[in-house]
Amino acid sequence: MKKLQHLSLLLFLYTSISLAQNSKFVIQSPDGEINLEVNVGEQITWSVSKNNQQVIMPSVVSLALENGEILGRKPKVVNTEEEEVSNSIDAINYKKDVVKDHYNQLKLNFEDDFALILRAYDSGVAYRFFTSKNGEVTVTSEEANFNFSGDYMSYFPYANDPAHDVYQISFENLYEHIPLSEIKKDTVGFAPVLVELPGGIKAAITEADLESYPGMFLKAGESKNSLKGDFAPYPLEEVQGGHNGLQSYVTKRAEYLAKTSGTRNFPWRIVIISEEDKELLNNDMVYKLASPSRIKDVSWIKPGKVAWDWWNDWNISGVDFPAGINTQTYKYYIDFAADNGIENILLDEGWAPKGEILNTIPEIDLEEIISYAGSKGVGVWLWSGYLPLAQQMDKALEVYSQMGVKGLKVDFMNRDDQAMVDFYYELSEKAARHKLMLDFHGAYKPTGLQRTYPNVVNFEGVRGLENVKWSNTDFPLYDTRIPFIRMLAGPMDYTPGAMKNANKANFRAVNSAPMSQGTRVHQLALYVLYEAPFNMLADNPTNYMDEPESTAFIASVPTVFDETIALDGKVGEFAAIARRKGNTWYVGAITNWDSRKINLDLSFLPEGEFEAIIFKDGVNAAREGTDYKREVKHISADDQLEIRMAPGGGWAAKIYPVK
């Protein structure tokens, strides 16, 4: 790994006299625009400003241990360490091949064997606790406060509120656009949460490097202008239940959050700060703050696209065998994938008997499917519910690795307490040993695990296209929110690709023959816009073969890239991104239910002449969502293109040098 590092280390020792006084410590972002200030007195508080505008007001942080010790109450600084770091991270299976990691760091070392580490980047700030205590410690609570100077609007995704456990959720809820003061006091939401400040500034709260510790929810703080962290207590008792008995429901929780090593780093608490909304479309904070890869050889990890069965209900047609969960149907999917350059197929729920993972139903000959796929150069993935896999993890990984399976889609975890976070890490490490990739569904938001274990190639934690099968959610609105909010945390398995596309008036939720809201080109653009190293084609092969132009474009879009540029966007209205792989560029833009015209500046292109294959909404796309126009034109970096998008529409292009 190439690292260009400049370290400037300053050590300040404070006398016992100075320690008796309140102490203030300040670090700035490398560009000097962000100030991160820490005040140490009776408590530890932190605050953040950007260009003299307050982003986070003084907010208390602490960590409480079972022995009654509170790290942050009457703390005494022993010494401080400051450093400026400028690295280049060689990213693995990411939206860019190199991530510039430039920050200023302050470490406050306290008596009682703990420290607070703070970083200031040009795009935000982060802090974390560090402890150096012997043996194991029990964390009973954490105080993570985010105070604002006004009652600002927020994008807040409430958790479900089931009677049994507020912390047991799918992490797919919609964003309520509400003032901080109107956040309900008796429930929680999950990160990232986005807050709108004056002057167009946005502040997004999330976390990174979550390991052996519960994930951070957010709830209304003590004042009407504040948010505070909330964490699922450790599960003491669980019962099997949920969908087909694949889930584990917590029936009793402990009075502590985690039992963990006494010497460790705790998760980063992050505030991402933007002046323009489009900056949120290309942010690397979570990736930078994650632990580096623990897999030495990553050459076998090959993400890509996958022909998927469940969304389209196996509804292929024009064949001489009964379609469904059977060997012949999957051979049909394999033929489709091979003919169109799709790297994988997935056997979703149903290939194994309910609640099992080491057996198949009689209609499935798994060895024959894998052998046939291998002869065609197509990989096979298997879906698994959480509980059967957790109960037989070692055996299942061994059996399916030896059989030639490429990866597992694991579903219905639906929690992020310490025990579940430990499951993610255990599975990721063991799967890597067996050279198996992972796609986490029913999953909490990414916190950088995909950097630590690059065999983890996607996460759900998003209200994906599957929901159109039963929901009238406003998807074009949601689609134009999540790239600015949820995608800040990392990749998302939204599963685009619908070939049946409807305007608002014509849309119906149909479980077995689903359609998307918005236009065909809206769906095509999502393959460029949304980060998804493992990206599914949701519709069925028959429909794709009936739409060869759309299918060829989807197949041509890579799932990982060498460069990403945020072109334009506004939260909940529209988004436009350009991504490069080699010398080919891909551009995707979408809008909400408002028709829209934007100007696309092509100055991101290098010098020379280029040809662009363009998909744009057809003249009648507002009436008939499948209406689109494909055109090919010559362009250069000096050009500007006027993009017109229909309601719920989009625009997509593949741009390559003219030979």
Cα–Cα distance, 327 to 346 (Å, whole number): 13
Residue 111 within a domain: yes
Cα–Cα distance, 150 to 138 (Å, whole number): 36
Q: Would you say 527 and 561 are in contact if contact means Cβ atoms under 8 Å apart?
A: no
Q: Mean pLDDT score of the chain, rounded to an integer?
A: 95
Structure token pair of residue 435: 């050279």
pLDDT tens-digit map of 479-501: 999 999 999 999 999 999 999 99
CA dihedral 324, 330, 333, 338 (to 10 degrees): -170
pLDDT number for residue 8: 35
Q: Does the annotation mark 466 as catalytic?
A: yes
Instruction: Select from 286, 159, 280, 141 the least CA-distant residue to 220.
Output: 159
Who contacts 241 (Cβ-Cβ below 8 Å, separation ≥6)? 247, 248, 249
Q: What is the CATH number of the domain that holds 177?
A: 2.70.98.10
Bridge partners, 270 (sequence order): 126, 206
Residue 261 within a domain: yes
User: Annotated catalytic residue: which of 466, 479, 531, 539?
Assistant: 466
72 secondary structure, DSSP code = T
Residue 425 CB-density burial (10 A; 0-12 exposed, 13-18 middle, 19+ buried): middle
- Give 162's pLDDT tier (boundaries 50, 70, 90): low
Which residue range(s) make up the domain with 260?
A: 10-289
Beta-sheet pairing, 70-71 with 77-90: unpaired
pLDDT number for residue 165: 87
Q: Residue 261 half-sphere exposure, CB side, CA atoms within 13 Å?
A: 8
Cα–Cα distance, 92 to 104 (Å, whole number): 24
Q: Would you say 447 and 209 are in contact if contact means Cβ atoms under 8 Å apart?
A: yes
Instruction: Select from 465, 620, 445 the least CA-distant residue to 527.
Output: 465
pTM of the model: 0.96
339 secondary structure, DSSP code = H
Q: Would you say 256 and 140 are in contact if contact means Cβ atoms under 8 Å apart?
A: yes
Q: Does residue 414 come out as left (phi exceeding 0), alpha (psi in the -120 to 50 range) or beta?
A: left
H, E, C per residue of 222-259: CCCCEEEEEECCCEEEEEEECHHHCEEEEEEECCCCEE
Residue 623 within a domain: no
pLDDT at residue 12 is higher than 80: no
398: number of Cβ within 10 Å: 13
Residue 224 within a domain: yes
- Give 659's pLDDT tier (boundaries 50, 70, 90): confident
Instruction: Select from 50, 46, 38 the least CA-distant residue to 146.
Output: 46
Q: Does the annotation mark 411 as catalytic?
A: yes
pLDDT at residue 577 is higher than 70: yes
pLDDT number for residue 163: 61
User: Annotated catalytic residue: which of 207, 411, 417, 493?
Assistant: 411
pLDDT number for residue 1: 37
| Helix or strand run (H / E) with residue 230 | strand 226-231
Residue 502 within a domain: no
- Give 6's pLDDT tier (boundaries 50, 70, 90): very low
Who contacts 497 (Cβ-Cβ below 8 Å, separation ≥6)? 465, 523, 526, 527, 536, 537, 538, 539, 554
Q: What value does the CA radius of gyration of the chain take, rounded to a whole number of Å?
A: 25
pLDDT at residue 14 is higher than 80: no
- Give 186's pLDDT tier (boundaries 50, 70, 90): confident
Q: Write phi, then psi, for 367 (nearest 5 degrees).
A: -65, -40
pLDDT number for residue 492: 98
Instruction: For residues 512-533, give the mean pLDDT.
Output: 98
| Helix or strand run (H / E) with residue 566 | strand 563-570
pLDDT tens-digit map of 400-430: 999 999 999 999 999 999 999 999 999 999 9
Of 18-32, 218-232, 350-364, the poorest mean pLDDT is in 18-32
**Strand stretches in 10-52, DSSP E:** 10-13, 23-28, 34-40, 44-50
Q: Is the dihedral of CA 348, 353, 359, 360 positive or negative?
A: negative
Residue 615 within a domain: no
pLDDT tens-digit map of 420-466: 999 999 999 999 999 999 999 999 999 999 999 999 999 999 999 99
Q: Would you say 404 and 438 are in contact if contact means Cβ atoms under 8 Å apart?
A: no
Cis peptide before 483 (omega within 30 of 0): no
Cα–Cα distance, 147 to 127 (Å, whole number): 15
Q: Is the dihedral of CA 391, 393, 394, 397 positive or negative?
A: positive
How far is Cα of residue 659 from the mean position of the Cα atoms in its chain?
A: 37
Structure token pair of residue 602: 């092509």
| Alpha carbon distance, N-terminus to C-terminus of the chain | 33
Residue 621 within a domain: no
Instruction: For residues 621-641, give the mean pLDDT.
Output: 98
What domain count does the chain have? 1
Residue 213 within a domain: yes
b/e string for 543-579 if b means 16 or more Cβ within 10 A?
Answer: bbeebeebbebbbbbbbbbbebbbbbbebbbbbbbbb
Q: Would you say 80 and 11 are in contact if contact means Cβ atoms under 8 Å apart?
A: yes
Instruction: For residues 337-348, give the mean pLDDT.
Output: 98
Say what percent of the chain tops pLDDT 90: 94
pLDDT at residue 7 is higher than 90: no
pLDDT number for residue 361: 98
